[in-house]
Amino acid sequence: MSLQLTSKVIKQLCGQLAYDKGDAYYRAGKASLFHYDPWTALFEIKVAEDKKNLLHCTVQFDRRGNVLAKCTCPTLKSYDKYCKHIAAALLYIQAARRDGTVELEPQETSSESEELPSIADNGSAAADAHIVGDMLGLFAVKPLRTVRAKSLLDEREPLQVEILCKPFAYGYHKYMFGVEIRLGPKRLYIVQHIRDFLDRLERGEAVTFSPQFTYDPKLHSFQQEHDALFRQLIEIHRHESMYRETAGRTPGTVPHQSNDRLLPIPPFFWGALLPLLSSAPSVKLDMGGRLLDGLQLSSEPLPVSFEFDRSSTDYVLSVKGLDQLMVMEAYEVVLSEGKLIQLKEDSCKRLSQLKQMLESSQKQTILIQAGQMESFMETVIPGLMKLGSVHISKAVTERITQMPLQAKLYLDRVRDRLLAGLEFHYGEIVINPLESHRPHGGTDHILLRDGEQERRILELMDQSAFVKTESGYFMEDEEGEYDFLYHIVPELEKLVKVYATSAVKVRLLLTNPPPKIMVDVDERTDWLEFKFDIQGIPESEIRSLLQSLEEKRRYYRLPNGALMPLESEEFQAIVNFMNEVGLRQNDLKGTAFQLPVTRALHLTDSHTRNHSIQLGKSFRRLLENLRNPDHLEFPVPDNLDSVLRDYQKYGYQWLKTLAHYRFGGILADDMGLGKTLQSIAFLVSVLPEIRSQKVPAIIVSPASLTYNWLHELNKFAPELRALVVDGTRAERSRMVKAAHQYDVIITSYPLLRRDLSMYVEPSFHTLILDEAQVFKNHTTQTAQAVKELRAQYRFALTGTPIENRLEELWSIFDAVFPGLFASRRAFSELTRGQVARRVRPFLLRRLKTDVLRELPEKIESLQASELLPEQKKLYAAYLAKLRQETLKHLDEDTFQQNRIKILAGLTRLRQICCHPALFVEDYAGSSAKLEQLLDIVEECRGAGKRMLIFSQFTEMLKFIGKELGYQGIRYFYLDGDTPTRERVELCNRFNDGERDLFLISMKAGGTGLNLTGADTVVLYDLWWNPAVEQQAADRAHRLGQKSVVQVIRLVSRGTVEDKMYELQQRKKHLIDEIIQPGEGSLSSLSEQDIREILMIT
């Protein structure tokens, strides 16, 4: 915050008259600090006009130093400027800051992006500020002068408070809780109008109780527990008022109370209020005028008893203690002798209804006829036991017959009908539950039945499609019969003994052993063969069964009428397998399927652990070789055996293994690990095939790397006859026609697009696509062109196989291994986990930290600089303009149409950070970052360091070169205009130590170059895509480096570059779960990203 709180500023805010009066208050010591929050730069200042009038001022400063203030005086709302009390408060703050008592720097947060307008701008801004202040006051949580506030203002007197919780009736057998309040300094005064009191309490207004006592929040305070309780009561009162206005006397709403002292508590607030009532001091329970201290919550059983006895012919139930209870049904609470006993909802409701029944009959005993006793014992007694204690006299227990339930279910099939008979056996007593009359042991005996168990059995039977008659059940629906036999009978067997005839037993065919799929490679055709092994299913039925699986049917009906369940785990595993592999019943040839091997290469251990899928010996061997490429032991070319490191030999074996099975793949090693060398080793190994077939290999790379490839081939494999296809179109055409005379031809992606017609006809032995992220977008001409090339073996090389979206990975695989995914749509339907499993054998990635233990450390640092004053002015002007335009497009939903324009604006801001002269004509000033760079250069030269300086702006590189030239420092320079032949030569000269500085365009030199002669890399400006920066840094930090590499990023503090860096760090882990940690990158900006960069909420 840049705040200059001077006397002049205060006069502008308040006016001369208010300033003079405020100054008098301040000098008289009438302004004092009440509260200060350094996190929000919020001050509460009290200003005493005299002994009676104490005003409270709230002052807050935003990040730009603008003032937002409020005062409790009545004159403020008619003022165009701030009042005299705020003037006194500002003068107090000015002095406090000058003395060092307070710091006026509010903490910045990511959500804080819009500054408050200055009231000094004009009268309208002042009025707006007042409205904003009123709104802040309206929605803020107002403190009720708590204990914390009291510690800041010791003269406030604590008040005594007594809370009365009173149950009251508001209808027939309907009760509610209400609250009354008494308070005072020594003597307690009854709050006669509780709603008015709570309103005033919320507004912080005084309340007069008598001529001797007026509650004033400026003079009185409450204990913390009472403060929290009052807050909750205010909330209850607010909802009560709303109900009164909208619901009237609608049943279920808060009842009207003529007693102004009592505030009814709606049941839905009871859960929040009860803990506050329990913890607050001086809370009493008013039971009809009898006051009990505190609310005593109890979990003890209800003091209710139910006693059964026998009369001469019938039975008697006596209820004791229920008439002494008050049942608060809506609160699920029972009041008993001053205690609150919590009940479950159903128990509380039954207790309330039972109490009403007894009170309506005006007696506490119930006569039960002998014929009703069995039902009563079965149904009512279990419920009464949940409400109180049950006592059964000896005269009753002697007549109770209690035996275990033995349920029996009889099943039969007759004329396509499923028949069922259910019986409940209690000893020799057999009960048909479908008969309307209830058998019992006569008047002298009571059969105590297991009602709960019977109910569970009958509920399961009711879930089926049976039709009920008094004689039993019957069903004619096939699907219902399947559901009953497969789903319900297993549940019934836990409760009943099931007796089924042979006709029922053969109706459901449960396969044992479970079904299996046998998967193996037919070595004659190199195709996968799938065979189904399902016991009890003839081979002629396999196709129909698979069709049922495809149609997601729950069972399959065999010709003999048996129903085979298809819902088992084994069949579901087969369905999942078929979906993942892409099998359809139409693919069935005879008794087996045959598909290309690529359709099932993603099989993982999870399938092999599933007993439904059995992998044959040949297929297991194939998967094992893919997981462990060194098992096949392809010999490394003799001339490269001593050159390749162990991990590079593994990569070579991996390439050879994929080629052995005619699979494509992506070599995605970290930059600098020698992807080029591993590829060259593969080309040397297939040289005999290339020459015997007279079919060359082709390498496609960015234009900047074509001659680098030629250099590496000549260096490591001079026996390979290599040619760069370059020159005029006629020259290139002649070279392509003579390609069979060479072992390897090399071209660039731009030339491939132009010359595609030359490459469509010939076939190549091996295709190597270098820096394959170039065609990550499948819609580009480059992506379409590389897919037109015909080759026996296809490989992609890239250090960043995914930069933003998984679809980019699909684009690369579609070029090198088109059979791996059926289509882009099918790929998009896979989860990230499924994609990771499928590509795992065909994507090899190693990080430097994993394989190059001896590689020197790479130390990365961020060095920030402050914009120079002239830069700041330009930056602030452009930022304000860009934010305004961006907000306009965001509000009008035209962001996407104007995306390029907004991104161009962000580039302008970045250019100002680099050097305003990049686009501001006649700019005569300097650049803080350039000055910082020149200091770094001087320091590094003094220490004998050799530097690479990257920038995406070639004009910036020229500015840097000009400054270096003034100092007599020689350097190499490389950008997009540097001829490809010359690039390799410049790199070699730098690595040989000819000069110590190399200025390189980020886009042109960020990939493929080997510059291990450098030990310091400076990234002058940030790139949206951190992978590009990583590639640039790895020009030096790669295989062959002997020194520690220092990577320095230059950032202008407080600008979009800060936000860019934060954004990069947050999104680096975008695709970790697909490849490996460390490959995340960002090359596109979403609307939310731009909002964050421009600090737009």
pLDDT at residue 1000 tops 90 = yes
582: left (phi over 0), alpha (psi -120 to 50) or beta: left
Task: Please compute Rg for the chain using Cα positions.
Answer: 43
Which residue in 695, 262, 50 sits closest to 254, CA to CA?
262
Across 301-322, average pLDDT: 87
The per-residue pLDDT of the chain, averaged, comes to 82
pTM (two decimals): 0.48
139 is written with which tokens?
Answer: 């929605």
Buried-exposed string 372-385: b where 16+ CB fall within 10 A, e elsewhere: ebbebbbebbeebe
Pairing relation of β-strands 997-1001 and 947-951? Answer: parallel
State the DSSP H helix or E strand holding residue 473, giving kind and residue range, or none if neither: strand 472-475
pLDDT at residue 367 tops 80 = yes
More confident residue, 798 or 1085: 798
The pLDDT score that the predictor gives to residue 747 is 96
More confident residue, 309 or 819: 309
More confident residue, 942 or 853: 942
More confident residue, 370 or 509: 509
User: How do residues 1006-1028 score in pLDDT, each as one tens digit?
Assistant: 666 788 889 899 999 987 667 77
> Per-residue confidence at 53, pLDDT binned at 50, 70, 90?
confident
Query: Are 387 and 351 within 8 A, CB to CB?
Result: yes
pLDDT at residue 16 tops 90 = no
pLDDT at residue 32 tops 90 = no
Query: Are 286 and 164 within 8 A, CB to CB?
Result: yes
Domain 858-1093 sits in CATH at 3.40.50.300
518 is written with which tokens?
Answer: 């046998």
Query: Around 230, how many Cα atoms within 13 Å sit in the side-chain half-sphere?
Result: 28
**Cα–Cα distance measured from residue 1094 to residue 1085, given in angstroms and rounded to the nearest whole number:** 12
pLDDT at residue 908 tops 80 = yes
The pLDDT score that the predictor gives to residue 104 is 55
More confident residue, 837 or 474: 474
Q: What is the DSSP string of 166-200?
A: EEEEEETTEEEEEEEEEEESSS-EE-SSHHHHHHH
pLDDT at residue 489 tops 80 = yes
More confident residue, 766 or 291: 766
**Cα–Cα distance measured from residue 161 to residue 770, given in angstroms and rounded to the nearest whole number:** 81
The pLDDT score that the predictor gives to residue 116 is 33
The pLDDT score that the predictor gives to residue 728 is 93
Across 415-427, average pLDDT: 93
pLDDT at residue 125 tops 70 = no
> Per-residue confidence at 108, pLDDT binned at 50, 70, 90?
very low
The pLDDT score that the predictor gives to residue 132 is 47
> Per-residue confidence at 115, pLDDT binned at 50, 70, 90?
very low
Most confident of 254-258, 377-381, 542-546, 948-952: 948-952
pLDDT at residue 254 tops 60 = no
More confident residue, 129 or 471: 471
pLDDT at residue 244 tops 70 = no
Domain 633-851 sits in which CATH superfamily? Tandem AAA-ATPase domain (3.40.50.10810)
656 is written with which tokens?
Answer: 């050879």
> Per-residue confidence at 252, pLDDT binned at 50, 70, 90?
very low
Torsion 914-916-920-925 (CA) sign:
negative
Helices (H), 892-1035: 899-914, 928-942, 954-966, 980-991, 1002-1005, 1026-1033
pLDDT at residue 570 tops 90 = no
> Per-residue confidence at 601, pLDDT binned at 50, 70, 90?
low
Cis bond leading into 513, ω under 30°? Answer: yes
Residue 176, strand partner residues: 168
Q: What is the DSSP string of 628-665?
A: -GGGS-PPPPHHHHTTS-HHHHHHHHHHHHHHHTT--E
**Cα–Cα distance measured from residue 543 to residue 591, given in angstroms and rounded to the nearest whole number:** 9
Across 726-734, average pLDDT: 94
Across 770-791, average pLDDT: 92
pLDDT at residue 103 tops 80 = no
**Cα–Cα distance measured from residue 176 to residue 663, given in angstroms and rounded to the nearest whole number:** 78
The pLDDT score that the predictor gives to residue 55 is 83
Query: Are 883 and 1070 within 8 A, CB to CB?
Result: no
> Per-residue confidence at 1, pLDDT binned at 50, 70, 90?
very low
Question: 346-351: long-range contacts at Cβ-Cβ below 8 A with a sequence spacing of 24 or more?
Answer: 347/386, 347/387, 350/383, 350/387, 351/302, 351/304, 351/322, 351/325, 351/327, 351/387
**Which of 278-287, 521-530, 772-781, 1068-1077 has the lowest average pLDDT?**
1068-1077
More confident residue, 140 or 709: 709
Tokens 């020159």 -> residue: 727
Pairing relation of β-strands 1045-1052 and 858-865? Answer: parallel
User: How do residues 924-957 score in pLDDT, each as one tens digit?
Assistant: 888 988 988 998 898 788 778 899 999 999 999 9
Query: Are 1063 and 1089 within 8 A, CB to CB?
Result: yes
Q: Exposed/middle/buried for 250, CB within 10 Å: 0-12, 13-18, 19+? A: exposed
Percent of the chain with pLDDT over 90: 32
Percent of the chain with pLDDT over 70: 83
The pLDDT score that the predictor gives to residue 1063 is 72
pLDDT at residue 152 tops 50 = no
pLDDT at residue 249 tops 60 = no
User: How do residues 190-239 score in pLDDT, each as one tens digit?
Assistant: 999 999 999 999 888 899 999 999 999 889 988 888 988 998 999 898 88
Across 338-367, average pLDDT: 85
More confident residue, 971 or 597: 971
pLDDT at residue 75 tops 70 = no
**Cα–Cα distance measured from residue 1023 to residue 1083, given in angstroms and rounded to the nearest whole number:** 8
